[in-house]
Amino acid sequence: MSVIAELLKVEEDGTLSFGNYDLEVKSKLSDFEFNGDLYKVKTFKEITKLERNGMFVYESVPGTAVNNFFESDSEMKFQVEGVDDAQITVEAENGAEYKVYVDDVNVGTVTANLGGKLVLSVELNEGKAVNVKLIKE
């Protein structure tokens, strides 16, 4: 896995990949159509952010590359890579609890805040992708 040179792309399996933590200057791509929605990505070494139809979906500090991003009403999963450990915030259902798996290991349950955001930290080493899965309980 590596950074996404196009900033945002659709994979053959119908998932999204986005982000480039190697960029020194913030870059963005807007109005990317996927499944009837418009996506926008902003990314560089300090932050990666994804929006759908103007609404928050994903953010990492520092910046990351995300591959095979998939979400449904009950699950979100993706592979993430970066230079250093990242704090990741994702959209979630207000007040809902989610089981968090990192590389298929259950690391606990997290409750989304009232703003519909769920925050988790992931240990990252450059060149090694980490699988993240969130399952709504």
For the chain of 137 residues, list the mean pLDDT of each consecutive stretch of 10.
87 97 96 97 97 98 98 96 97 96 96 94 93 97
Which pLDDT belongs to residue 41?
Answer: 98
Which pLDDT belongs to residue 1?
Answer: 55
Taking CA atoms, 98 is separated from 47, 94, 118, 127, in Å, by 24, 11, 9, 28
Would the pTM of this model clear 0.85, i.e. be above it?
yes
Which pLDDT belongs to residue 118?
Answer: 96
The whole-angstrom separation of Cα 44 and Cα 130 is: 19
- Class of the CATH-defined domain 8-136: mainly beta
Amino acid found at 22? D
Matching residue, tokens 């709504």: 136
Taking CA atoms, 119 is separated from 31, 35, 36, 65, in Å, by 26, 26, 27, 17
